[in-house]
Amino acid sequence: MAKDSSLFPTMDVFDRYGLRRIVNASGTESTKGASPVCKEAIDAVVGLVPHSVDMLELQSAACHAIARAFETEAGCVVNCSAAGIATAIAACMTGCDLARVEQLPDVTGMKDEVVLQRGHNITYGGQITQNITLAGAKVVEIGAATECGAYQLAHALTDRTAAALYVVSHHTVSSGLIDLQTFCAVCKLRGVPVIVDGAAEPDPTVFLRAGADLVITSMHKSFAALTAATVAGRLDLVRACMYQEKGIGRPMKVGKEGVIASIAAVERWASLDRPAIRKALEARLARGHDRLGQLPGITASIEIDATSQLFSRLLLHVDPSGAGITAYDVSARLWEQRPSIAVRSLMADIGLLQVDLRRADDATADYVIGSIERIAREASTASAASEPRETSPNLADLAEGGLKRFPLPLEPRR
């Protein structure tokens, strides 16, 4: 398919380095460069990066901005949510004791256990338990993968418990586990701080109101900043997070560009007209639903995000016997065209694709919808000799295969 230059009118950097142009209808994954950076963050970065700045002052400005926007005591900026988990756990173990900060990952004399529901033991591109053990802590799993009760949490909290980690993600088991409010209430009775990993979630105030002590939010995902994350919540614990820059936080330190971009993105987020944004998104989804629902072998529906309940996506069920193509192959052909389209294919093995249009304007949404229509129609009229594959490839193996091919062959234009 010919390149649609109208979607990328001035970005010669792609040609210069031989990079693929991508329309991201999958979400805000780091593997796709997360969200397009908002103008407010770009302007703030351009204004600051040519100059030197006192980082403690800059982090203090971030603290005040985060506290105002998220209606909490304090906040700081780290270089990503994975770093935020390791930093927050270290903070819960050391407090504001610099000698202990310097001692990690040796945890002698410290509380060193972190409680985690088994259904929250996920990979998001990396193993979440590795973020815990980076700080020297031990993971204490509770419950089963699909079931966990408050009594099991209460039993696991001991005088060795430094913190409890609660993961909010589409990767976690979505039912049968302890809800956040109950989780926080049980931990509060034992004086155990609750850390929420809400990396991709659009509204951290929900978790703070539920009783979380620290909430970690990716700035480069729903907030459209440069790569960074905020840690927001209790002042004493946020301050202890800052202490980690003298310890395990040093190899994962954030730069001035990440902090100032986060300040700008948080302030922008606080002023967004969310009802208007949601109304525009719902109109695009409705158009996509009406068009894609007419295709043979494809059932379209509009599905609210199960994790946040704050936005919706298109959900496509692809029946190979009627469509002449599998869900995985639809996603693969979208990726092969130029500009490439990424859709969420985590459930392609059971015939499901999700189309996320939050970052799309009307023209981009039409490009995505039109491309799916074209691929589906081509598949439905193809000869019976090209039968759809019976199974989809394993996504973990695909990711490993991609790493084996590094560095990829590119065709830069100098």
* Per-residue pLDDT at 383: 43
Q: What is the CATH number of the domain that holds 150?
A: 3.40.640.10
State whether the Cα torsion 90-93-98-104 is positive or negative. Answer: negative
Structure tokens at 190: 């034992």
Residue range of the domain that includes 264: 53-270
137 and 261: one domain?
A: yes
User: Do 277 and 237 belong together in one domain?
Assistant: no
What per-residue confidence (pLDDT) applies to 238? Answer: 99
Q: What CA–CA distance (Å, rounded) separates 111 from 109?
A: 7
* DSSP H stretches of helix in 96-202: 98-103, 128-133, 150-156, 180-189
Boundary residue ending a domain (270, 302, 327): 270
Domain endpoint, select from 270, 295, 318: 270
Give the number of domains in the chain.
2
Non-local CB neighbours of 202 within 8 Å, separated by 6+ positions: 222, 308, 310, 311
* Residue 8 domain flag: no
Write down the pLDDT at residue 306.
83
Question: Does a structural domain hold residue 1?
Answer: no
Beta sheet of 138-142, edge-to-edge order: 74-78, 229-233, 214-218, 194-197, 161-167, 113-117, 138-142
Same domain, 393 and 289: yes
Distance (Å, whole) CA 206 – CA 397: 35
Return averaged pLDDT per consecutive 10 residues of the chain, 414 residues in all.
56 87 92 93 98 98 99 98 98 98 98 98 92 97 97 98 96 92 98 97 96 98 97 99 98 97 98 94 96 95 89 95 94 95 94 95 96 94 58 81 88 75
Question: What's the token pair of residue 114?
Answer: 């972190």
Residue 384 lies in a domain: yes
Placement of tokens 């040609």 in the chain: 15
Q: What pLDDT is recorded for position 399?
A: 82
